[in-house]
Amino acid sequence: MKVLVTGAAGFIGYHVARRLAETKRCEVLGVDNLSDYYDVALKRARLEQLAPLTDFRFLQADFADTEKFAALVAHFKPDYVAHLGAQPGVRYSLENPGAYTHSNLVGFTSVLEACRRSRPKHLVYASSSSVYGAGATSPFREDADTDQPTSFYGATKKANELLAHSYARAHGLNVTGLRFFTVYGPWGRPDMAPTLFARALAEGQPLKLFNHGKNLRDFTYVDDIVDGIVRTLLYPPAVAPVPPARIFNLGHNRPVETILFVKMLEKLLGRTAQIELLPPQTGDMFETCADLTRVQAAIGYSPKTPLETGLGHFVAWFKKYYRL
């Protein structure tokens, strides 16, 4: 079968493309525009890991270029589409909303339109726990109120879910959105907490913890996220008679205070952090925790990687990649 993966040079996209290509049952086409939001060398290094896989091909392209992307999809004729490309980052969205409009709104509409024309069996796309926003009660359920996102990034992801719903109903697309919860692991983004914290520790730099380190995060190991994506991808919603636009949480359901997360990194790296405790930051959520009832019932998703194990894998990669 043919699978198109957008954001294939990104953190989660790389891992999904690799998992699918290694099955020897998928022809995987990875698409990424290699934006410079963070170090492009890391994106190229991920692609170098994928290059030897015989069932993987890569094309540098911008999925927000509507006509060119539609032509690309029409030519490849994917059976399944995993749309994992996006402009990420909660705090950056406060400074540069235009980048999010381009990738997360125009780009997502472009993906939906290409799928409307080419009719894959299933489109799975990345949403985010950021959609829950103010007023959400932990653990977050998919049917909770998501009308008060606390960041522009969260608002664009909420918009994605509404757009997907409209395309499912109007055009009969099989569409599922996945709300990811604080994904970490090898090949992680340099702007995410695990790498930021690890670099500060390794370099002896001050480590800033907002909300005095008391924010709770549902840290989820990337292999568990990949399991959820691949399982969801291969099981489209049943037609009855209009395909529903499903939403699932993918998390770990065991939130941890960020200061405890840092203490675990200290032990693994053998370094002591210079912690700077700061007040809450605009756009941050105080707690994230995924209710997994719906996704467990639908596809049997169950995260297996304890934080201690996953962090060990992350630190081993971190030391090797950054040559520490």
- Report, as residue numbers or ranges, the catalytic residues: 153
- Report the alpha-carbon angle 92-295-301, nearest 5: 95
Residues 66 and 117: their CA atoms lie apart, in Å, by 12
Residues 17 and 52: their CA atoms lie apart, in Å, by 13
Of the chain, the end-to-end C-alpha distance in Å amounts to 41
Any residues with CB less than 8 A from the CB of 101 and at least 6 apart, and which?
156
Instruction: Give the tokens for residue 234.
Output: 């291969």
Instruction: Give the tokens for residue 31.
Output: 């698409």
- Angstrom distances, CA of residue 288 to CA of 105, 142, 306: 24, 13, 17
Quickly tell me which residue has 């040079």 as its tokens: 9
